């Protein structure tokens, strides 16, 4: 291959990371022993339709098609054809074989006339120069960003934000607050009653137990 399965497709999927990607490779289909490959395939299609827009990714589809059985092929084609044409599901696949050498059923899934096939060609000398020119001459030649300059930049002084307004209490919260205040006052009265009783029986404070002489 020319890196379509190891570099190009992963980079494309990374660019489309906001979409949910479901990988339909051999490891996924045959890696779960409790379910059949057909059930796993159907489950992935259901998830892809439930979380649209989404991507169904099949790496090395030429090996995939040669390895799976007739039943799984029929299941796969039936599920593909059951997806409505307006459904935002992208079927993305890579192959190390030429498009013309693929099985006719696979060619029907990706129509070259509709520009659904991208051929990765071997880069020539000029292509390599264009690829590395920006990396070496432009990006590598740039001086590193000065952290000191960023620190010395004057920061805008913002006014202190006013405190948030208190949230209005509901009727139930007001009743609960009133009950708590009543309990607090009751405890305070009991405490003060005990304090005044101790003062009254203490001889040192007996003078304070008599009524105040207003004259």
Nearest CA-CA partner of 27 in 69, 64, 71: 64
Tens digit of each residue's pLDDT (9 = 90 or more) over 154-174: 667 788 888 888 888 888 888
Q: Which CATH number fits domain 4-122: 3.20.20.70, 2.30.110.10, 3.90.660.10, 3.40.50.300?
A: 3.40.50.300
Note whether 19 and 55 are within 8 A (CB). yes
Distance CA 23, CA 66 (A): 18
Note whether 83 and 89 are within 8 A (CB). yes
Is the predicted pLDDT of residue 197 greater than 90, yes or no? Answer: no
pLDDT score recorded for residue 150? 58
pLDDT score recorded for residue 94? 92
> CA 81, 83, 85 angle in degrees (round to 5)?
95
Distance CA 150, CA 137 (A): 25
* DSSP symbols for 40-93: HHHHHHHHHHHT-SEEEEETTHHHHHHHS-HHHHHHHHHHHHHS-TTS-EEEEE
Is pLDDT larger for residue 34 or for residue 46?
A: 46
Tens digit of each residue's pLDDT (9 = 90 or more) over 63-107: 999 999 999 999 999 999 999 888 999 999 999 888 899 999 999
8 pLDDT tier (thresholds 50, 70, 90): confident
146 pLDDT tier (thresholds 50, 70, 90): low
Nearest CA-CA partner of 65 in 40, 96, 32, 33: 96
pLDDT score recorded for residue 45? 95
pLDDT score recorded for residue 152? 56
Is the predicted pLDDT of residue 151 greater than 70, yes or no? Answer: no
- Give residue limits of the domains in the chain: 4-122, 171-209
Query: CA neighbours within 13 Å on the CB side: how many for 191?
Result: 6
Whether pTM > 0.85 for this model: the answer is no
In percent, how much of the chain has pLDDT > 90? 40
Nearest CA-CA partner of 112 in 126, 132, 95: 95
């Amino acid at each position: 291959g020319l890196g379509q399965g190891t570099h190009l497709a992963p980079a494309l999927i990374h660019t489309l990371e906001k979409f949910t990607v479901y990988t339909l490779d051999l490891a996924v289909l045959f890696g779960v022993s409790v379910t059949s490959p057909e059930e796993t395939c159907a489950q992935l299609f259901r998830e892809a339709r439930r979380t649209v827009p989404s991507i169904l990714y099949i790496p090395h589809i030429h090996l995939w098609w040669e390895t799976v059985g007739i039943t799984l092929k029929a299941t796969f084609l039936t599920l593909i054809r059951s997806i409505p044409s307006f459904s935002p599901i992208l079927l993305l696949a890579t192959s190390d074989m030429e498009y013309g050498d693929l099985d006719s059923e696979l060619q029907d899934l990706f129509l070259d006339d509709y520009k659904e096939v991208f051929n990765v060609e071997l880069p020539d000398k000029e292509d390599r120069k264009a690829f590395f020119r920006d990396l070496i001459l432009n990006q590598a030649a740039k001086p590193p960003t000065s952290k000191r300059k960023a620190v010395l930049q004057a920061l805008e002084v913002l006014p202190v934000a006013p405190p948030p307004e208190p949230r209005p209490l509901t009727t139930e919260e007001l009743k609960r607050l009133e009950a708590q205040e009543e309990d607090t006052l009751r405890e305070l009265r009991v405490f003060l009653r005990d304090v005044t009783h101790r003062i009254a029986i203490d001889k040192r404070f007996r003078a304070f137990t008599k009524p105040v002489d207003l004259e």
